Structure 1
Amino acid sequence: MALCVDAALAAQVPASADALFARREDPVAARQAADQYLSHHRASPQDFVGAWKLARVSYFMGTQGPAGDRRMWLETGLAAANDAIALNQARPEGHFWLAANMGALAESYGLRQGLKYRTRIRQALERVLAIDPAFMEGSADRALGRWYHKVPGLFGGSAAKAEQHLRKSLTYNPQSTVSLFFLAELYADEGRPEEARRLLQQVLETPVHKEWAAEDRAYKAQALERLRSLSSRR
């Protein structure tokens, strides 16, 4: 049962933090947004919206912020996501950002240590699918596709399931830079370089998403690097 009313609490999140988060490509704005969300969460721990927004900005800082601070922010995001779930487990935000922060944290520890998080990550994403499969343009399917790609087969990974989930995510937004990039990486790793190159080129040509411009530009940069690498192997 939810412990709060989202609409009532949304107004409590500082508008300045949201504005700063919108400018997160500027490292100073990103850090200021993170600090404001963190201060708000400490002052208003019963605010569901504040909790998941802290988890969201923490994921950004934990993946694109200063290298020395990344793990700290991912731990902060993990705690905030758990708080959001405790406040309202019927909403997808807490579950999704839990999986995102935990997945990035697992990658930071490397394969052997990171595998300990695999079951909880998958369960959180499956919970998002059960609540709202269209959440954030199929983000749960996108992340599950990545999960099935990166987890070894011995521990539940599957290239076929990875492709299935990634293709499903593209039904919500066929121009999703992230979904296209993840699918291209899957194809490259599966020995399908021509298909991978086609998708990477599509990533470069896809318009930047207005809400997720910072993330899109980061994946476009990765796509260009990967495309050059694949082309040099011809």
Structure 2
Amino acid sequence: MHCGTVKTGHGLPAIWLTAALILALLAMGGPRAWAQDVPVQLAAKAQAFYEQRADMDVAARAVEAYREILAYTPEDLDASLKQCELLVWIGAQEQDAKAEPYYREMIAVAQRARQAHPQDPGPVYWLGVGQGMMATVAPISQALSLVKEARGNMRLLLTMDPSYCHGGADRVLGRIYSKLPFFIGGDNDKAEEHYKSAIDRGPHYWLNHLYLAELYHHEGRDAKAKQLLQQVAAGPTINGLEPECRLWQNVARKYLVGEVSSE
């Protein structure tokens, strides 16, 4: 074969046809290649939105971006965990009726991530958090089942990684024990024990301290509550969790000003 000289069809050299075929294949592959890059582009956009989540409108845009990523790559662990974090961040600052869809989506995302990554503690944590948050807005008949599931996931997390998310398992268990009525398992002593363990594992994760301060306040131990709140208000922020830390510090200052009296 004499490459570049063979004639075909209407007299075009075969090499021209080969070049044309290559260009056609590239043209066909162009959109496909672009589509494969979309998750990478979305990841950058989602991360930029995530970092600006203190603005709730931007947080909502981050949720949309992570939904797109998970539509392309449903087993993406990082996207799943960030989506859960964003959903609870938004849901916790909404009224109950508006919060419910966020918690439902969070549970679904965490369940998929759990199936795809059964050995990772992240999906276990966020699934339990979602179930616990959903219990706060669900009818009582569903709430009790959700609390049971959340407690089971947190006990599992204690065996996998008790330090995950700054003592997350103990923090959620403490919340469960402090919020349940005593006749269905509520226990302030157990709640205090879990909150203290969470503080040991997450000494600058101020939500641990806020929950214990709330417990002390409800028990009339306002001097102890005030000490914790002062620690929160004056403490440092955690790198990467600045919006959350600032929110918790603002809550502490609010309580110090108006809701927790000194003894």
TM-score by length of 2: 0.77
CA distance in 1 between partners of 2:241 and 2:98 (Å): 22
Native 8 Å contact 1:48 1:88 kept in 2: yes
Q: Sequence identity of aligned pairs in percent?
A: 29
SS at match of 2:260: helix
1:184 is matched with 213
Native 8 Å contact 2:110 2:124 kept in 1: yes
Out of 209-218 and 65-74, give the one that drifted further.
65-74
The counterpart of 1:22, out of the listed 32, 43, 51, is 51
Instruction: Considering Cα pairs closer than 8 Å and 6+ residues apart, tell me whether 1 or 2 has the greater RCO.
Output: 1
2:189 is matched with 160
Q: Deviations over 1:185-224 (max 9, x none)?
A: 1111122111111111111111122221211222222222
1:81 aligns with 2:110: yes
Residues 169 and 52 of structure 1: is their aligned pair in 2 closer, same or farther, counting only changes over 3 Å? same
SS at match of 2:166: coil
1:64 aligns with 2:93: yes
CA distance in 1 between partners of 2:246 and 2:53 (Å): 12
**Matching residue's letter, 1:168:** S
The counterpart of 2:259, out of the listed 223, 229, 232, is 229
**Matching residue's letter, 1:15:** A
TM-score by length of 1: 0.86
**Matching residue's letter, 1:214:** P
Residues 155 and 222 of structure 1: is their aligned pair in 2 closer, same or farther, counting only changes over 3 Å? same
**Displacement of 1:68 after TM fit?**
6.2
**Displacement of 1:44 after TM fit?**
1.7
SS at match of 1:204: helix
Q: Deviations over 1:87-140 (max 9, x none)?
A: 112111111111112222211237675333110011111111111111122111
CA distance in 2 between partners of 1:69 and 1:17 (Å): 23
Out of 128-137 and 169-178, give the one that drifted further.
169-178
CA distance in 2 between partners of 1:24 and 1:214 (Å): 7
CA distance in 2 between partners of 1:112 and 1:222 (Å): 31
Native 8 Å contact 2:75 2:116 kept in 1: yes
Q: How does 1:101-120 map to 2 (within 5 A)?
A: 101-109=130-138, 114-120=143-149
For this pair of structures, how many residues does the alignment match?
A: 224
2:126 is matched with 97
**Displacement of 1:66 after TM fit?**
7.7
Of the two, which has the highest radius of gyration? Answer: 2
Residues 106 and 12 of structure 1: is their aligned pair in 2 closer, same or farther, counting only changes over 3 Å? farther
**Displacement of 1:48 after TM fit?**
3.1
CA distance in 2 between partners of 1:57 and 1:133 (Å): 22
The counterpart of 1:137, out of the listed 166, 174, 183, is 166
CA distance in 1 between partners of 2:93 and 2:214 (Å): 20
**Matching residue's letter, 1:82:** Q
CA distance in 1 between partners of 2:132 and 2:66 (Å): 21
2:35 is matched with none
**Matching residue's letter, 1:30:** A
After the TM superposition, which parts of structure 1 deviate over 6 Å for at least 4 consecutive aligned residues? 10-13
Instruction: Quote the RMSD (CA, aligned, Å).
Output: 2.3
CA distance in 2 between partners of 1:56 and 1:71 (Å): 15
Out of 119-128 and 44-53, give the one that drifted further.
44-53
SS at match of 1:138: helix
1:216 is matched with 245
CA distance in 2 between partners of 1:136 and 1:148 (Å): 19
Which consecutive unaligned segments of at least 5 residues does structure 1 have? Answer: 1-9
Which consecutive unaligned segments of at least 5 residues does structure 2 have? Answer: 1-38
CA distance in 1 between partners of 2:48 and 2:59 (Å): 10
**Displacement of 1:67 after TM fit?**
7.0
1:32 aligns with 2:68: no
